[in-house]
């Protein structure tokens, strides 16, 4: 649809400019009105001016980032694309705005459904209040078209299940979690735990330092038990597991020593 609108607007622009040149070069204004200047200045100017305005508006409002901002959905080319995990490399404004909200270009490192990685970029309209949230290291679900990985779109489908599945597969491939731990997160009892101790042995996996946590977990009946957890965390998340912090966790009553932390992806 966007392509049809752009072709139509471009055809109208070419036709209008062509008519204006035909009218002026043929000196038709002077012939009709007896005034030489009217060959170029007169009512015939309306069409190229109108066509130029229309062309600019159509190309601006059919841009993928603008349409996504107006509709709240991905563009047709990416709507049914595969879901991958994108890590923000850099963010910069393009200079275009919509209702005083800037368009930004987001450079991303993307891991696809098969575990392959590629560099790409996305453009989107971002409210000024959320601009600071887009920083290097932030992880975002993206939609991509296999074979056309030079460009992606930030996923706007609201399909959290697909994004979660893609993120889980990424963490398993990186050795940060396991299928058993994901099962505990899905089926386990939701509880809260207080961090009693924290140590960092120095091991790093895929840029994630390993931490040892001593936890005091509160059962739903108010009783508690203690356990230790070993986990690889992004560096930015270490601040969220300091001694004294309260964490959301999951565990299976049959094996209380296996506790899974529920930390936000971009904590």
How is the chain split into domains, by residue range? 2-62, 78-158, 174-261
Average pLDDT, rounded, for the chain: 83
pLDDT tens for 142-196 read 999 988 889 999 998 888 888 888 888 888 887 788 889 989 988 999 999 999 9
Per the DSSP assignment, residues forming a β-bridge with 193 are: 217, 247
pLDDT mean over 85-97 = 90
pLDDT of residue 228: 94
Query: d(Cα 140, Cα 37) in Å, to the nearest integer?
Result: 59
Among 54-68, 73-87, 140-154, name the one with the lowest average pLDDT. Answer: 54-68
Does residue 251 carry a pLDDT above 90? yes
Nearest in space to 215 (alpha carbons), one of 267, 173, 178, 262: 262
The residue with greater pLDDT, 83 or 27, is 83
pLDDT of residue 64: 60
122 sits in which H/E element: strand 117-125
Domain 174-261 has CATH 2.40.50: yes
* CATH fold of the domain at 78-158: OB fold (Dihydrolipoamide Acetyltransferase, E2P) (2.40.50)
Per the DSSP assignment, residues forming a β-bridge with 218 are: 192, 224
């Amino acid at each position: 649809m966007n392509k049809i609108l752009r072709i139509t607007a471009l055809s109208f622009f070419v036709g209008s400019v062509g008519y204006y040149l035909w009218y002026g070069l043929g000196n038709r204004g002077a012939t009709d009105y007896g005034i030489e200047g009217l060959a170029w200045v007169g009512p015939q100017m309306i069409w190229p001016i109108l066509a130029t305005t229309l062309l600019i508006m159509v190309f601006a409002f059919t841009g993928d980032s603008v349409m996504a901002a107006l509709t709240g959905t991905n563009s047709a080319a990416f709507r049914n694309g595969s879901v991958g995990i994108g890590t923000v490399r850099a963010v910069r404004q393009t200079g275009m705005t919509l209702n005083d909200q800037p368009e930004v270009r987001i450079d991303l490192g993307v891991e696809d459904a098969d575990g392959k990685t590629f560099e790409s970029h996305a453009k989107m309209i971002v409210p000024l209040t959320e601009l600071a949230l887009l920083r290097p290291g932030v992880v975002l679900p993206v939609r991509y078209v296999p074979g056309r990985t030079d460009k992606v779109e930030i996923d706007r489908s609201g399909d959290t299940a697909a994004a979660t599945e893609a993120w889980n597969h990424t963490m398993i491939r990186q050795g940060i979690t396991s299928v058993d731990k994901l099962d505990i997160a899905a089926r386990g009892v939701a509880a809260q735990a207080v961090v009693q101790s924290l140590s960092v042995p120095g091991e790093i996996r895929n840029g994630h330092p390993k931490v040892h946590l001593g936890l005091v977990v509160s059962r739903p009946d108010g009783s508690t038990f203690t356990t230790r957890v070993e986990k690889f965390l992004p560096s930015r998340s270490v601040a969220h597991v300091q001694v004294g912090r309260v964490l959301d966790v999951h565990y299976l009553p049959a094996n209380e020593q296996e506790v899974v932390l529920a930390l936000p992806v971009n904590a």
